[in-house]
Amino acid sequence: MIKASNLTHYYNNDKALENISLNIKKGEFVSLIGESGSGKSTLLSILSTLLKPTSGEISFDNLNFKSIKNIDSFRRENIGFIFQFHYLINYLTVKENIALANEKASKNEISSLLELLGIKELINKYPNEISGGQRQRVAIARALINNPKIIFADEPTGNLDSKNSLNVFEILKNFSSKGTTIVVATHDKNLAAMADIIYEVKDGKLQ
């Protein structure tokens, strides 16, 4: 599904990634682990099209990223994003926050997705009325509402306790088992162990 070849990236004169190559198959659950500053978030950003590498090639289903003319449309059709900070809008309800990612989604579609995530009863609540773990599940729903082929998650449990962190990874693993490709950057090796494949990023290189 995703093939990366010889990825190298610099921030000014600082080398963040060096000559990284990897293949991610459809439906795989992949964890990128590493300490803060190791390069794992940079790698995730490049794989998810949010950052262009200084050098190297990336393709998605044999389509080279450089040949994609409308990257925003490509992302909407293929990619879901989950971040450490959920970025929900406080003056919008849970339903309205999710609908921002797909204006065509019906209330029934949103409700069904929330039910799958165990938070159907929160559909008309506002972000400041629900817990951190519930907000992160809303963020997952927002990432899934377009039925993306692949989900990228950057430290999605960074602000959660151990119980909610485990719950988030179990949810992601469940979607992976149904064919959605999942790529997660995390510093938590115990959670990373739930993935099918683990890549360790150290000093900008894959271990």
pLDDT at residue 60, rounded to an integer: 87
Across 2-30, average pLDDT: 92
User: 37 or 21: which carries more pLDDT confidence?
Assistant: 21
Which of 31-45, 47-61, 153-167, 169-183 is predicted least confidently?
153-167
Q: What is the pTM of this model?
A: 0.88
Confidence category of residue 167, pLDDT binned at 50, 70, 90 = confident
pLDDT at residue 13, rounded to an integer: 86
**pLDDT at 147 > cutoff 90:** no
Reported as type and span, the H/E element at residue 32 is: strand 29-33
Nearest of 151, 153, 140, 147 to residue 185 by alpha carbon: 153
pLDDT at residue 97, rounded to an integer: 94
| Rounded Cα–Cα distance for residues 69 and 40 (Å) | 27
Q: What CATH number is given to the structural domain containing 92?
A: 3.40.50.300
Amino acid (1-letter code) at residue 199: Y
- Of the chain, the percentage scoring pLDDT greater than 90 comes to 44
| Rounded Cα–Cα distance for residues 80 and 142 (Å) | 8
What domain count does the chain have?
1
Across 184-193, average pLDDT: 90
Across 38-51, average pLDDT: 89
Task: Give the pLDDT confidence of 47-93 residue by residue, as tens digits.
Answer: 998 889 999 999 888 888 888 888 888 888 889 888 877 789 999 99
| Rounded Cα–Cα distance for residues 141 and 117 (Å) | 8
| Rounded Cα–Cα distance for residues 207 and 20 (Å) | 10
Bridge partners, residue 200, by sequence: 33
Across 109-115, average pLDDT: 91
Q: Spell out the alpha helix ranges (H) of the chain.
A: 40-47, 71-78, 94-99, 107-116, 132-144, 162-177, 189-192
Q: Are 9 and 54 in contact (CB under 8 A)?
A: yes
pLDDT at residue 195, rounded to an integer: 94
Three-state secondary structure call for residue 66: helix
Reported as type and span, the H/E element at residue 38 is: none
Q: Around Cβ 13, how many Cβ atoms within 10 Å?
A: 5
| Rounded Cα–Cα distance for residues 206 and 34 (Å) | 10
Task: Give the pLDDT confidence of 127-144 residue by residue, as tens digits.
Answer: 999 988 888 889 889 988
Domain that holds residue 179: 2-206
Reported as type and span, the H/E element at residue 55 is: strand 55-60
Amino acid (1-letter code) at residue 47: L
pLDDT at residue 161, rounded to an integer: 81
Quick one: DSSP state of residue 58? Answer: E
Q: Are 122 and 92 in contact (CB under 8 A)?
A: no
